[in-house]
Amino acid sequence: MAATRMSRFTMSRGKVGQGLLGAAGGLGLAALWIGSSALAIGHSSGAEGPAILGVVIFMTGLVGMITVGILGLPWPYSIAVAVLTVLMVMPLAFYGDAVLDRRGEQVTAVVSELRVSVSQPSGTTSHVCGVRLPDGTEADVVGSRCDEDSRIGDRLTVYQDPEGRVTARREVQMTAGQLSWLVGACVAGLVTLGARIGVHVGRHRHRTVRDER
């Protein structure tokens, strides 16, 4: 009886240790994700840095799903990896909106150019208004009141970043608070998923050792 209790205690302690190790791995991955995202956004003069980082995150998610399959983990783990990958890319897409929500100023801009943009490969067309901001700089905006009825000289209210790090936009789709919640959810998801994988791997190893005996 005492030996059985000791074996269960050892197994439970091993699960806790594996879970903590997995959680630490998830936390490290979250720190790497946040750090690389901040570096890409802070040192990119355009959309190239975030776009490349987004591709890297998607590829990492794909590798994660393959790894889940190789480890023989249940299919919900693959779904969790896919969902987290999408959530991790979203802050890159809405970073500019969050910046404008936090420190942006609403200013009146004058339409100085009109053109039609075609997205590839979908072929979707959208109307782009080139506007002149109050400080004399030029910017492209897409959104409401920028359509085939727009005319040069029209006045539009846009969000402008006083520091000039984010291009002006017609509207903000995600607030800074919402972005913070999304980042927090990603971090929590990575830590939880790491802990669960650690426990699963530890349980599998315990079963293998027990079968060998």
- Map residue 203 onto helix, strand or coil: helix
Confidence at residue 9, expressed as pLDDT on a 0 to 100 scale: 45
Read off the pLDDT band of 206 (50, 70, 90).
Answer: low
37 pLDDT exceeds 50? yes
* CA–CA distances in Å: residue 21 to residues 26, 48, 80, 85, 197: 9, 35, 19, 21, 10
Considering the chain, what is the average pLDDT of its residues?
79
145 pLDDT exceeds 90? no
Residue 53 burial (10 A CB sphere; 0-12, 13-18, 19+): buried
Confidence at residue 53, expressed as pLDDT on a 0 to 100 scale: 82
pLDDT digits (tens, 9 = 90+) for 70-80: 877 888 888 88
Question: Where are any strands of DSSP class E within the chain?
Answer: 105-118, 125-132, 138-141, 155-160
Furthest CA-CA distance within the chain: 88
